[in-house]
Structure 1
């Protein structure tokens, strides 16, 4: 009987340490699994820093996005949301609304510090009649807005600034836009 008590004590200690170690660390890749909401807005001054030809004069632009990104455990993703391009001047405020959808594959690189998404394709479609009609009368804008459509094979790389069970912050490598995403 005496030998079983120390053996039981060691066994309990071993089980406790295994459980503690297993609960304390979730692999980084598994932290991505699930649905993440994101939203951001950019205004004329911020956009001018990204544009080859900055906007001048009385016209301003606001770009906003509300979207949900789903990271699946098989290495694929899907996302959908609404882009709003708001053209502002002293006399008008023109909101152009679009639905955007994208699917593809995702992977982590550089020891989990970089997220790479490769698009399988997607769509960008007017979300309302006003946007459809506006683009019909301004065909040169159709090409500009068409450039926001997800392109098959296009890669988007982001640096992972932080991630927890409820929030993720990433910075897109090319544009330097920082996004905060919250788990659904």
Structure 2
């Protein structure tokens, strides 16, 4: 029993070390320079451990994004308004868009590394994009707020359109140049215009 417990503790420690190494490297280097080998070396584990734990580079990038988006999810479900429950749907929607832009703006390297995976899944016949946990939660939350504020709108499609700006090449480049506030203002404008149309 102690042996199993120690293995689990080692696995948890390795997972944390790999994720922290990935975050550090993505903050220092362009995504294309952050390989699984480099992450393994920075984490002090073998490359096989990284592949065993995350399956692929895309799997590791997804897990990093999930980790970074977790705090936002908690704020949305349990935090104070306007991001959390208790505010009007329009106020929550605008606060959520601001928060998403903040997460994406602070994690440009990760978004760029993750972008290929999410974009490639857009055309998947099994609608793999919906299975992506971060995107799925963000989309579902936006869709619900839009539908609550304006039941007459196509909330499903509008939520996809608002989020698609975060996966657009020129927009990602703007984020890389520190233009998160510009993106946030434009998304708020689009959302407000749609809700008032």
Shorter-normalised TM range: under 0.3
Under a length normalisation based on structure 1, what TM-score does the superposition of the two structures give?
0.27
Under a length normalisation based on structure 2, what TM-score does the superposition of the two structures give?
0.26
Which structure is higher in strand share? Answer: 1
Name the larger-Rg structure: 1
Which structure is higher in helix share? Answer: 2
